């Protein structure tokens, strides 16, 4: 089967533009502009889950959207080396009933031969960043982490 993929090359400028447009809007993010850049067999993994295939990836994105009133993302650094793109990010999640939380993380995207994203691995400390925003919980949590792991 011949490759018919003809979107813009995923360089650092395109990634920054696509991700900024996806997340930095009023209300919920709209991933429809970046889905075409994902390979149909995308392998996604983060601190919580591992999914394979575009349908599972879209379901994951929908769950995140359903949990939040609004999401925004800042990308302080972005580098491409060969088929790998490394992105440092700050995602602010605004919830319906809970304090907003900023999650600090990094993503490694690996491109397939056709230029689409074949693998996405996100790295972040979900609970630490969320608990930092709960005033009555942050100190006991940090004490526990320091005693057990620090």
- As a whole number, the mean pLDDT across the chain is 86
- Give the residue with greater pLDDT, 34 vs 99: 34
Quick check: is 3 in a domain?
A: no
User: Which range marks the domain in which residue 41 is found?
Assistant: 12-149
Quick check: is 129 in a domain?
A: yes
What would the two tokens of residue 60 be?
A: 């994951």
Q: How many domains does the chain have?
A: 1
- pLDDT tens-digit readout, 1-16: 444 556 788 999 999 9
Quick check: is 1 in a domain?
A: no
Quick check: is 89 in a domain?
A: yes
CATH number of the domain that residue 75 is part of: 3.10.450.50
Quick check: is 5 in a domain?
A: no
Quick check: is 137 in a domain?
A: yes
24 has pLDDT over 50: yes
Quick check: is 46 in a domain?
A: yes
Please compute the mean of the pLDDT values over residues 11-40 and round it to a whole number: 87
Which is it for the CA torsion 12, 17, 18, 19, positive or negative?
positive
Do the strands 38-45 and 50-52 form a parallel or antiparallel pair, or are they unpaired?
Answer: antiparallel
- Give the residue with greater pLDDT, 85 vs 22: 85
């Amino acid at each position: 089967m011949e490759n018919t993929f003809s979107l813009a090359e995923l360089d650092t400028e395109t990634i920054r533009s696509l991700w900024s447009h996806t997340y930095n809007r009023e209300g919920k993010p709209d991933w429809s502009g970046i889905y075409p850049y994902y390979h149909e067999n995308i392998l996604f993994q983060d601190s919580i889950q591992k999914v394979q295939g575009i349908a599972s990836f879209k379901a994951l994105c929908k769950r995140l959207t359903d949990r939040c009133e609004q999401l925004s993302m800042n990308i302080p650094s972005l580098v491409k080396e060969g088929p790998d793109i490394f992105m440092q990010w700050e995602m602010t999640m605004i919830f319906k009933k809970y304090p907003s939380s900023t999650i600090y993380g990094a993503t490694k995207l690996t491109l397939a031969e056709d230029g689409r994203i074949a693998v996405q691995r996100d790295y972040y400390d979900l609970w630490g960043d969320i608990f930092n925003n709960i005033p009555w919980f942050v100190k006991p949590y940090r004490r526990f982490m320091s005693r057990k792991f620090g």
